[in-house]
Amino acid sequence: MSKFKLLVPALVGLAVAVAAPAFAAGGGAEAIKYRQNVMTAIGGHMGAIAAYMKGEVDHAAHVPIHADALMETSRAVADLFPKGSGPEAGETRALGKVWEDPSGFDAAVKAMEAAAEKFAEVAAGTADRKALGAAFAELGKSCRRRGA
């Protein structure tokens, strides 16, 4: 199990690192589709963790795996919003302020990266729902802050 635990985040990080430039280079609709796929993956990991946190499932051993995947994927978020991939390029829920205030967006992404890293550290050390709660709440807040 520990080899698998280490392999999943590495594979997620590799896939994002290799594919992000290719999709982003396509610009427009291709960049939007790629961004939506990555954001769906992030949402899936968040949902799986939330199910554990609410006591709906008892997969404590999975929480660090999802946390590591979120940490790795968060490092790609800044690259998911290239110029020309906003509403003018197709259907997207990304807010215009991403491109209107790039420094604010960059700060929000860095906050999300830091919160994801902190949550991964906490998740690696405990399966206690109460102990995980504060770090998970901060991660959730950081995701909403970015407005994308």
Cα separation, 127 vs 88, in Å, equals 44
In this structure, what token pair is assigned to residue 8? 């999943």
Mean pLDDT of 88-106: 92
Q: What is the pTM of this model?
A: 0.78
Chain centroid offset of residue 8 CA: 14
Cα separation, 125 vs 131, in Å, equals 10
Of the candidates 144, 2, 145, 142, which has an alpha carbon nearest to the alpha carbon of residue 68?
2
What pLDDT is attached to residue 9?
53
Confidence band of 2 (pLDDT split at 50, 70, 90) = low
Residue 118 amino acid letter: K
93 or 11, which is more confident? 93
Reduced to 3 states (helix: H, G, I; strand: E, B; else coil), residue 123 is helix
The string of pLDDT tens digits covering residues 27-78 is 799 999 999 999 999 999 999 999 999 999 999 999 999 999 999 999 999 9
